[in-house]
Amino acid sequence: MLRVLQELEVATERRTQAVDITDQVRDSLEDADGASAAVVFVPHTTAGIIVQEHADPAVARDFERALERIVGEGWGWEHIEAGEENAPAHIRAALTATSVVIPLRDGDLALGTWQGIFLCEFDGPRQRTVYVTPLA
C-alpha cells in the first residue's frame, strides 16, 4: 500500500551540521509498495537536503566547514533581528536544496554505493522536520 507522506523529526546538535538521515528515509518507505521514487523535502529556510558520500564521516564535516568558509558569519549582513542573527544560514541553505528526488529500485533507495541523504542544518541546534513522499 502506497503511503502519502511520512514526517521525520531530526534533532541537530551544532549551528552547522550535516546529519545522515539515509536510514530514517529508508525506514519511512517500508510500506511504499509500488512507488517508483521518493521526494525528500525540508520545510525550513535555514536548512537543506543533499545527497553526498556517507561512508566517511569526514566528508560531512568538510562540507560543513566549506559552507562556513564560503558564507562567513562576519559579513555586513542586512538581515539582522535580535536573537535571530541567521543571515548566513539563509545563504548556506540556498546553496543546497530544499528537496531531492531519489528513484526506488525493488522498493529501496537507488543510491550509489557511497551515497547517503543528509539534512543540512545551518541555524542549529534545532529540531527539524523532513517530509518523505513516495511517488507512484
Written in H, E and C, the secondary structure of 6-30 is EEEEEECCCCCEEEECHHHHHHHCC
Sheet with 6-11, side-by-side order of all strands:
6-11, 127-135, 37-41, 99-105, 108-109
pTM for the full model? 0.93
- pLDDT recorded at residue 75: 83
Residue 81 scores a pLDDT above 80:
no
Per cent of the chain over pLDDT 90 is 81
pLDDT above 80 for 24:
yes
What is the per-residue pLDDT for 77?
Answer: 83
Q: What is the pLDDT of residue 33?
A: 85
Length of the chain: 136
What is the pLDDT, as a whole number, of residue 6?
A: 94
Domain coordinates in residue numbering, the chain: 6-135
- Decide if domain 6-135 falls under CATH 3.40.50.2000: no
What tens digit of pLDDT does each residue of 93-117 get?
999 999 999 999 998 999 999 999 9
Q: Output the pLDDT for position 26.
A: 97
Check pLDDT > 70 for residue 2.
no
Q: How far apart are the first and last CA of the chain?
A: 11
Q: Decide: 130 and 47 in contact? Cβ < 8 Å.
A: no
